[in-house]
Structure 1
Amino acid sequence: MENKLPTQFQIYSVLKQFSSADHPMNAAEIKEKLISMYHLPKGPDRKTVYSHIHELQVLSDNGILDCEIFAKKDDHNRTAGYYTDPVITKAEVKLLCDAIAYSRFIKKNHSIDLIKKIGGAFGKDFISKYKYILELKNKENKDYNDSFFNSIENIADAIEKGNKVTLQYLQYDLNKKLVPKDKENDGFRTVSPYNLVWTLNHYYLFCHVEEHGQDRFLRMDKIKNVTVLEDERIKPLPASFNVRDYIRNQAFMFGGDLVSISLRCEMRMLGQIIDFFGEDVEIAPIDDHYFRAHIKSSIESMKYWVLQYITAIDQIQPESLRKMIVHYLEDALRRNQ
């Protein structure tokens, strides 16, 4: 029996890369691409090409392929050629590819590979649009974490199984090289991993760090040498702990105990409050110029956020946060006079 799979999926690859609704491909064009791309001594004949395409359409109709295959009709209702249309929309793929291209922690070659995998269904022209953006990653004299994706895979596996992990946590030095964050234990920590979180243009691990006895957010691009401890179960979070609310109310990813925070804000802060803390954040009007925001977050997370917008925020509660903000401002004023 003829082995149809190589030729069939070579045809599928050609259609994915070079066809579109505006540029359908006929048998002769497909044959030409097959010969040039796969170095074939001769390509399949017209009947064989169309037979494979019809079988690919059956696979597509049954949801086995990642693209649908359509016939393009001419003015006389005859089939002029075939083209693929991805199941995922171009706008959805662009959103994902933009995030990869502009990320500051995925190195250039990994970015190219990912964009090819995700955007490949839209052809080479789509992928080539990212060439100049990706060239910028060459200009950074910066050390990238080559084990980034392996770390994600290992930690996701540990979260699913409910196991602890050991990992090495890093930071940048003055030479922009990744080095252990702590000299003690060469940066290695034992953690109970709970969630992987994408926020503030970075990927974080929310976990309990045994050495510190605290729940913390660790940057995934600064994690290396992950080992899953198969025989050690995670420290469980309290039954009343709502992970979604805890993560959502972190202005910056520092962790810490949740407290009730109250801020008087100028009206121009309304958009920022909703953007950071969600549409269900508790806000109450005071007058035409001010509103009060009530936020459940941690002091560690909120202190730098409040400083960022201090020209439009006052009447800060609790008192410990207010005193902290005042101290930072007085210290900054003293050092900059």
Structure 2
Amino acid sequence: MPRKEGQKLKLLTLLEILSRETDEQHPLSVPHLVELLRERGVDAERKSVYDDIQTINSMPGAPFEIVQQRGRGGGYYMTDTPFEFAELKLLVDAVYASKFITARKSRTLIEKLGRFTSRYRQAELDRTVLVSGRVKSQDEKILYSVDALHTAITTGVQVQFRYCDWNLQKQMVPRHGGMLYRVSPWALVWENGNYYLIAYTEGHLRHYRVDKMQKVEPIPDVPREGADEYANFDVNAYTQQMFGMFNGPLKKVTLKCENRFAGAMIDRFGTGPTLVPFTGGEHFTLTVDVQISPQFFGWVAGFGTGVEILSPPEVRAEMRKTLDTLQTIYR
């Protein structure tokens, strides 16, 4: 092997060793680095390894640094990798929380993420017991659906798919006898652990759960529609108005809340709505746009007497009707 190519291989192998075999708690001495290089078929001398470490640290824009730990048991270790360890934990938690990623694919992704840190820290990311305990998708085809939707969004074309529901046999059954839906895709939203497609169809922007889609295919040479509607579309406001991503008529609703629920309202509706102190000082009101659905009434009921719908009258009346119906069932 030419000397120049051999030097490149040595640098790459040394980088791999430092990234996977070292961290602050596990530095390696230069003799040990030489030994590990030789185990990987790369001959090296001590002096050349010192020079290689200096070369690595002088690389412009490198997202890591090789640090020397002096004293007994010291050596060299890599301080940073392309991801900080806290960032890897966030990514791993997102994989765990995602319902649409199967348990098997979760383990595969987490293993791949673990390769961006030392093998010692990778063990801290291995929480496979949590994967088996979560409600996870059983169908890995959703990953291909997501990829097809991204392709259609990027290329600006329409997509077609079959939209399904669960039956009592726990099978996905296409709606409308397997009719093909054809829509113009604009965005993918991750909400409540599920992926949703925001798409334009029949003059409106609607959403579809990606895990309920089957046989998703971009339609080449058929440009998507709804550009003007999407230009004025606020994804964050849309998801805040909906409960459980269930559609309903949009209403401006005023809620009266006990002060202790200020955090819950901010978590749900963001910091935009004004919290107005109510007479007596123990409550506040806020007015928000909400898509009225049974899930919204269930959410309000979950606060007991701590949250009350003040207006509009028709929404307040519908809440009362819902409670009367429930009382009849559980009487």
TM superposition score category, shorter chain reference: 0.7 to 0.9
Query: Is the CA contact (8 Å cut-off) linking 1:168 and 1:180 kept in structure 2?
Result: no
Pick from 104, 109, 115 the counterpart of residue 104 of structure 2: 109
Q: Tell me the residue number matched to 2:116.
A: 121
Secondary structure, counterpart of 2:328 in structure 1: helix
Q: Tell me the residue number matched to 1:182.
A: 175
Larger deviation, residues 243-252 vs 270-279: 243-252
Query: Superposition pairs for residues 208-247 of structure 1, below 5 Å?
Result: 208-210=200-202, 215-236=205-226, 237-238=228-229, 240-247=232-239
- Deviation digits for residues 91-113 of structure 1 (CA, Å, limit 9, x no counterpart): 22212212212433322332223
Q: Tell me the residue number matched to 1:202.
A: 194
Q: How many residues align?
A: 323
* Distance change in 2, residues 1:198/1:135 (3 Å): same
* 1:192 Cα offset (Å): 2.0
* Distance change in 2, residues 1:267/1:82 (3 Å): closer
* 2:86 is the counterpart of 1:83: no
Query: Superposition pairs for residues 43-192 of structure 1, below 5 Å?
Result: 43-59=43-59, 61-63=60-62, 67-75=63-71, 80-131=75-126, 133-138=127-132, 143-177=137-171, 179-185=172-178, 188-192=180-184
Pick from 312, 318, 321 the counterpart of residue 318 of structure 1: 312
| TM-score when normalising by structure 1 | 0.81
Q: Tell me the residue number matched to 2:267.
A: 275
Q: Tell me the residue number matched to 1:15.
A: 18
* Distance change in 2, residues 1:268/1:12 (3 Å): same
Query: Is the CA contact (8 Å cut-off) linking 2:53 and 2:66 kept in structure 1?
Result: no
Pick from 265, 272, 285 the counterpart of residue 292 of structure 1: 285
Query: Is the CA contact (8 Å cut-off) linking 1:165 and 1:190 kept in structure 2?
Result: yes
> Percent identity among equivalent residues?
25
Query: Is the CA contact (8 Å cut-off) linking 1:215 and 1:256 kept in structure 2?
Result: no
Which amino acid is the alignment partner of residue 246 of structure 1? Y
Secondary structure, counterpart of 2:115 in structure 1: helix
* Distance change in 2, residues 1:242/1:121 (3 Å): closer
* 1:285 Cα offset (Å): 1.5
* 1:90 Cα offset (Å): 2.0
Which amino acid is the alignment partner of residue 46 of structure 2? R
Secondary structure, counterpart of 2:13 in structure 1: helix
Secondary structure, counterpart of 1:85 in structure 2: coil
Query: Is the CA contact (8 Å cut-off) linking 1:23 and 1:83 kept in structure 2?
Result: no
* 1:317 Cα offset (Å): 2.6
Query: Is the CA contact (8 Å cut-off) linking 1:267 and 1:291 kept in structure 2?
Result: yes
Query: Is the CA contact (8 Å cut-off) linking 1:251 and 1:277 kept in structure 2?
Result: no
Query: Is the CA contact (8 Å cut-off) linking 2:247 and 2:291 kept in structure 1?
Result: yes
Query: Is the CA contact (8 Å cut-off) linking 2:277 and 2:285 kept in structure 1?
Result: yes
* 1:16 Cα offset (Å): 1.0
For structure 1, the residue ranges without an aligned partner over 5 or more in a row are none
Distance 2:169 2:43 in 1: 54
* Distance change in 2, residues 1:293/1:226 (3 Å): same
Distance 2:262 2:138 in 1: 37
- Deviation digits for residues 155-178 of structure 1 (CA, Å, limit 9, x no counterpart): 22322333221123344444545x
Distance 2:121 2:169 in 1: 36
* 1:240 Cα offset (Å): 4.1
Query: Is the CA contact (8 Å cut-off) linking 1:16 and 1:122 kept in structure 2?
Result: yes
Distance 1:81 1:142 in 2: 41
Which amino acid is the alignment partner of residue 119 of structure 2? K
Distance 1:125 1:17 in 2: 8
* 1:22 Cα offset (Å): 3.0
Distance 1:47 1:173 in 2: 69
Distance 2:250 2:209 in 1: 21
Distance 2:169 2:33 in 1: 51
Distance 2:89 2:135 in 1: 27
Secondary structure, counterpart of 1:122 in structure 2: coil
Query: Is the CA contact (8 Å cut-off) linking 2:158 and 2:183 kept in structure 1?
Result: yes
- Deviation digits for residues 101-146 of structure 1 (CA, Å, limit 9, x no counterpart): 2433322332223223334232223222243x32343467965221
